[in-house]
Structure 1
């Protein structure tokens, strides 16, 4: 019988209760946490998540010297002292599959547990998530690191912290003020460039094209809502789920749904206009610039209702003080990597971040 679902964060707490005495007996200063990739880190895990890379798990961080002296023996000791189940779920992990994922493991009662306690250093963990950049980040660093990776380090739980993971998490908890302004300006620029294309395609009889552009503007609008909330957006699998937790989603969900479901371009643009006006209200509530009109306006002489997204972008860029960020405003802003591309390869491959910095020179 499948056990009752227990969120992964809670399983990590239960597992740490067995790991902590082992660390204490060795006198090891350590950090224990559940961070990094995984729906459990974000708090989005459910029964479907339990088939791979899920279960009682956590990371234990040691100093470099302690890691060199104790990691191998500690891993082996935990194999023999950890219980076979925590919270009703097996602590055993199967060998890696061809794609590197690990499902629930099996084993004879009383046999050593192939557990999911990773014993690392803080630097190893940060390299895994950030690549070779470290706080304080440069402007380009902030923009080339996908929000999903920043979220994977700042979400989750820290159960014990001798080694300073909490300080790193605090340093990366949100964008610096001027980077935040630039990111919002870039999203508004993207809205300005795209929002009039959907009705134009529809008027020309290309309803599919109209729908596709509308979906792109809706995605940009959702990313902008996260920015206005100073909250990192997850990658697209969890984007809608996390969006529904934002206070602003109460005003945005209805028109977003209507825009994406509309049967014709006229209804589509009316709903999209409601989305963008709601975001203008959100912008004004932040007080970052002089108030902007919360209304749609005609796009030149065409019967398309848009908002002055370019004007909002320009006002945000004018409020930037940091010279490194201001220099980016000399050209049309492209925004961080999440706005530039939806590539999962870029979101997960930390080795490519150095090449991406060229976008922000």
Structure 2
């Protein structure tokens, strides 16, 4: 079996093979690996190699050069890209019925059906962000309708050469504007405030499954909030735990989350969830965004349910917003960005609905 090589490393090696062709043609270009894929996030492993993985690269040309040379360049690369880089074939298999593509036949000969994708910066940005152009002024609604996974997929990965300004776009999208960041945190705290007392109530009523389900939902919101507190975009759910573990400061939170989800009765579960929420308050206080908040739980309306009153935390954060556009948002129910609003994958990937989603804000 061929030894695994991370996709980002293969992309860099592939660019080294492509660069002389571009130099001969005198082409200004940007070469990168961004967009969907565990390889872009540096989370690929041997399991990732079964589909939509392998030596690949995005090659960006100016609009004029793309019109004049893209087709010819693609064909020339078919003859000049090596059959393997890093021990992995550069050939791609035909698309499967679900649209995914595996590695090509390593025994094949002749021109290479390669994964060097030739496009323009405009085309790449539209593919990842839809109608939101980050080179133009962005509204708060623009930021909120873009799933964090998409922002992450554009700002992660690697740029190997940049004549056309992709690095500047990535820098601009590196993190939310300050008050949009506050809004996102306030919305997450509001969601916690709406849910934090429900799990023990379900458990008290004898619904242990309901208690577990609500607890899991609060824990997921807690993880989303933790990424916001770290000023890091959250990946989609498959990688949430893996990416959270890369953030060293989240160790106490991860320990509390694990204990909460492992609890076998609702009383222990609510105590453990209280540890999660108090840790989130501690992390909030360390940010210095508001006056310090109590790092303890309190009873919910005299019932034996321990909460931190996430709604009150949300209100404190909302008071710190100064941007007029975001001030208008915090006066309304705090629905949050698209990731907090919905876990629907179909909604997150449907860029055709971006304009409609803006109306939520």
Contact 2:60 2:121 in 1 (8 A): yes
Confirm or deny that 1:270 pairs with 2:271: yes
Contact 1:91 1:115 in 2 (8 A): yes
> 1:350 offset after TM fit, Å?
1.2
Q: Distance in 1 between matches of 2:133 and 2:230?
A: 25
Superposition pairs of residues 62-73 of structure 1, within 5 angstroms = 62-73=61-72
Q: When the two structures are superposed, what TM-score results if normalisation uses the length of structure 1?
A: 0.98
Superposition pairs of residues 1-361 of structure 1, within 5 angstroms = 2-106=1-105, 109-135=108-134, 136-360=137-361
Give the direction of change, closer, same or farther, for the CA distance of 1:102–1:109 in structure 2 (3 Å limit). Answer: closer
> 1:107 offset after TM fit, Å?
5.9
> 1:333 offset after TM fit, Å?
0.4
**SS, match of residue 32 in structure 2:** strand
Q: Distance in 1 between matches of 2:288 and 2:106?
A: 59
Q: Distance in 2 between matches of 1:16 and 1:271?
A: 49
* Equivalenced residues, count: 359
Q: Distance in 2 between matches of 1:126 and 1:266?
A: 49
Contact 1:269 1:305 in 2 (8 A): yes
> 1:108 offset after TM fit, Å?
5.1
Answer with 243-252 or 268-277: which moved more: 243-252
**SS, match of residue 181 in structure 2:** helix
- Per-residue CA deviations over 1:33-59 (Å, capped at 9, x if unaligned) read 000000000111000000110000010
Contact 1:225 1:248 in 2 (8 A): no
Q: Distance in 1 between matches of 2:341 and 2:8?
A: 32
Contact 2:89 2:106 in 1 (8 A): no
**SS, match of residue 327 in structure 1:** helix
Q: Distance in 2 between matches of 1:347 and 1:92?
A: 30
Answer with 34-43 or 253-262: which moved more: 253-262
- Per-residue CA deviations over 1:1-48 (Å, capped at 9, x if unaligned) read x20000000000000000111111100000000000000001110000
> 1:247 offset after TM fit, Å?
2.4
RMSD: 0.9
Q: Distance in 2 between matches of 1:148 and 1:205?
A: 38
**SS, match of residue 306 in structure 2:** strand
Contact 2:131 2:354 in 1 (8 A): no
Report runs of 4+ in structure 1 exceeding 3 Å deviation: 107-110
Q: Distance in 2 between matches of 1:302 and 1:276?
A: 18
**SS, match of residue 216 in structure 2:** helix
Contact 2:152 2:233 in 1 (8 A): yes
* Structure 1 residues without counterparts, runs of 5 or longer: none
- Per-residue CA deviations over 1:176-199 (Å, capped at 9, x if unaligned) read 000000000000000000010000
Q: Distance in 2 between matches of 1:108 and 1:11?
A: 20
Q: When the two structures are superposed, what TM-score results if normalisation uses the length of structure 2?
A: 0.98
Q: Distance in 2 between matches of 1:50 and 1:23?
A: 28
Contact 1:55 1:89 in 2 (8 A): yes
